[in-house]
Amino acid sequence: MAHQHHITPLSIYLTIAATLLFLSGVTVWVSYVDLGAMNIVIAMLIATTKATLVVLFFMHLLWDDKKLLTIFVMSLMFLGIFITITLLDTEFRGGVNPEVKDSINKRAAFYDSLPLTDTHGNPVDEHGSSHHEEDEDHH
């Protein structure tokens, strides 16, 4: 290859490794703190930071051809598109018919007229849970 290989000093590797270990500790610690809706956001933020450090330093993307960095960022962009537009559905569902936003109530009055069964036609117990695992045996 024509381009020069970047030689990373050992100290950088060690610093990054220490940071990663520290962030793992933070992940564990923060899992004991209930932040409500922010739980998932904080956990994902820490995980993303760690992944970014690994990619930039351990995988040398910081010093490599910037085209590779572009491709990497593009893949994140497509993931962003997927998640954002899917959330446009789940967050705005029920805008016209509010009842479609609710989770399924297996004990609703509608079910009183029907025998409680799952999609195989097997009986479902009073609490509304079907015998899923048993069904899987015969394939």
Spatial contact of 6 and 60, defined as CB atoms under 8 Å apart:
yes
Which CB, 16 or 124, lies closer to other proteins? 124
Q: Interface residues for other proteins in 10-49 (CB under 8 A)?
A: none
Question: Binding residue for other proteins (CB under 8 A) from 7, 88, 109, 114?
Answer: 88
Spatial contact of 57 and 16, defined as CB atoms under 8 Å apart:
yes
Cβ burial, residue 1 (10 Å; 0-12/13-18/19+): exposed
Residue with tokens 């446009």: 88
Question: Binding residue for other proteins (CB under 8 A) from 15, 24, 52, 75?
Answer: 75
What the block records as the tokens of 112 is: 């009183």
**Residue 90 interacts with other proteins (CB under 8 A): yes or no:** yes
**Residue 64 interacts with other proteins (CB under 8 A): yes or no:** no
**Residue 91 interacts with other proteins (CB under 8 A): yes or no:** yes
The piece of 9-17, 26-34, 84-92, 107-115 that touches other proteins (CB under 8 A) is 84-92
Side-chain-side CA neighbours of 4 within 13 Å: the count stands at: 3
Neighbour tally for 47: CB within 10 Å: 13
**Residue 78 interacts with other proteins (CB under 8 A): yes or no:** yes
> Which parts of this chain interact with other proteins (CB under 8 A)?
74-75, 78, 81-82, 85-86, 88-96, 100, 103-104, 106, 118-120, 128-130, 132-133, 135-136, 138-139
